[in-house]
Amino acid sequence: MNQTGSLYRLDHVVHYYNDTKALNIDEMTIPAGSITGLTGPNGSGKSTLLKLLAFVSAPTSGNIYFKGRREYPFSSRSRSRVTLLTQEPYLLKRSVYDNIAYGLKIRKDTKQLDDRVRNALATVGLPYGEFAFRKWHQLSGGETQRAAMAARLILEPEVLLLDEPTASVDADSAKLIRDASLKAREFFGTTLVIASHDWHWLYEICDNLLYLFKGMVFSSGMENIISGPWEKQGEDLYARKIGGEGKLFVNTPPAEDSHALVRKKDLHINPHASGKERENFDNRLEGVITRMILEKAGMEIITSVMIGDLFFTLRLSGQEVRSLRLYPGAKVVICFQKDAVQWL
Amino acid sequence: MDFLLSGFLKALDLLITLDSSTWSAVAASLKVSTISMLISLAAGLPLGFALGYFDFRARRFIRTCVDTLLSLPTVFIGLVVYAFITSRGPLGEFGLLFTLTGIAIGQVILALPIVVALTASTVENMDNRLRLTLMSLGAGKRDLVVTCLWEVRYGLLAAAVTAYGRVMTEVGISMMVGGNIKWHTRTITTAIALETGKGMFANGIALGLVLITIAFAVNISVSFLRQR
């Protein structure tokens, strides 16, 4: 049942909250020892997916395989190996020391506990003498997040799931948490799954970046998803205003407010294309490059272009960037065919 | 007003000189309330946890029943327990009428809904991140229950103190089921009722002072535990 090297395998996993479908994944694998990033808008299913991967709740239907075996919440095998850190972690109403030692105590693994707590605290930049015996309510938001991170790191987990771990902390704490998560991978070979809106960070460290939208997973990083409303322009021709006079043309959508997906590979960028070259495309949209990030996994350059109220993301090679002389602030034209649009 | 002042002074004298009938009522009260509280807490905490934590079909109905039992009059409980343990009742063969055990049964019926309802409310109001945190740190089902109860310990303590207050101060059950027998089933509250009826204010005031002192001691202890 296990794909070689894959730690997790999700098979037709669907999860509902009451009548709302929060997650719908046909097939997904996460390789052992990898760093997988999850990105996507709020409510796209990132947190739900992490909870299922952490086995703190079971999917409404479908199976989750961990190391080749189907696992469930409270399974002794998975709960000793997988841990989750949420955006706003809860500290138990006891001292920082007791919070960090809790996981080991319930495992009855208390050998050299003081040293291990000291090391865990040091990893997240909290001096033992100053913080170990503070009460849970005597910490700032960033310190709370770091103490919670230490409580996970001390377990030397096989899988560390991080749900927007740096979203509500100061810059210093965010850096310490980011560094600590990488140390976990370096020291314990921990597999990391990180949900974050900080795609700068994700592109920098992830081996694999997944984009979630309305509970569905797209396996190629940031994708271009455009929401309606779509207005009829002619026979099998609809358009969406993108600020000013600009319009984005598509074929007939399933509904007026459908979401359109334009994959990065279908986008063409050219600052110098002549009018004739551009006319070969149904959509020719003028915009400005706002960000360029080197992607760790493919060593390509992820380029964001702002067009009206929309952002498009493209993956470009270093050669393309050099030859087209692209840089943040450069004006470019994004071209694509309306047939390239997929409906979600 | 003189009778109040002289009653108060005589009450102090009774307490200081360790008046045996006064202290016998105090001992009976402490004994029976401690037994009934131990039973109520042992049964009420897990039941309250289950009612507040788990979502099941009859939960709302059971919650309503428990809340209704909170307002049961003590004389009614006394009547029901009397009916069951009197020699003609279904439990008559056990000879529980006019015993401290009989009073304890009535007081458990009084205290149990309080412990269950307040525990359930405390657990319902528990931070919903707690379960997620404990599970993500590797807690099993038993660890989950124990740690959750420990996390809401102040709420549970409040439930216990409230129930204890109700048990210590009730008269109806002790009077009807215990029979107010001197040296045996006479409790602080039944003794106060009797002594006041006889015009013996000093004895009533002395027992009242003990009652207030116990309440004060319990609350001081709770406050001390909270600070820790």
pLDDT tens digits, one per residue of B82-140: 999 999 999 999 999 999 999 999 999 999 999 999 999 999 999 989 999 999 999 99
Chain B neighbors of A56, CB-CB under 8 A: 131-132, 135-136
**Residue A56 forms contact with B (CB below 8 Å):** yes
Question: CB A86 to CB B141 under 8 A?
Answer: no
| Cβ neighbours for A275, distance < 8 A, ≥ 6 positions apart | none
For B140, the closest chain A residue by CA position comes to: A74
**Residue A92 forms contact with B (CB below 8 Å):** yes
- The sign of the CA dihedral A282, A284, A289, A290 is negative
How far is Cα A252 from Cα A239, in angstroms, rounded to an integer?
Answer: 9
Query: Tokens standing for B112?
Result: 């149990």
For A95, the closest chain B residue by CA position comes to: B228
Instruction: Give, in degrees to the nearest 5, the angle at Cα B24 between B19 and B30.
Output: 130
Nearest to B129 among A86, A103, A107 (CB): A86
How far is Cα B147 from Cα B143, in angstroms, rounded to an integer?
Answer: 6
For B153, the closest chain A residue by CA position comes to: A93
Question: CB A84 to CB B132 under 8 A?
Answer: yes
Instruction: Determine the pLDDT at residue B80.
Output: 96
For B150, the closest chain A residue by CA position comes to: A93
A295 in Cβ contact with A302 (< 8 Å): yes
Look-up: residue for tokens 């003498």? A129
Question: CB B138 to CB A151 under 8 A?
Answer: no
Strands A6-17, A20-31: pairing is antiparallel
Of B131, B84, B104, whose CA–CA distance to B42 is shortest?
Answer: B104
Query: Tokens standing for B120?
Result: 């359930």
**Mean pLDDT split into 10-residue runs, chain A, 344 residues:** 69 93 93 91 92 94 94 86 93 96 95 96 95 94 95 96 91 91 92 90 86 84 79 88 82 87 84 63 87 82 87 88 90 87 84
- The sign of the CA dihedral B44, B47, B50, B53 is negative
pTM of the model: 0.77
Mean pLDDT score across all residues of chain A:
88
How far is Cα B161 from Cα B151, in angstroms, rounded to an integer?
Answer: 18
| Helices A113-123 + A96-106 axis angle, to 10 | 120
**Residue B131 forms contact with A (CB below 8 Å):** yes
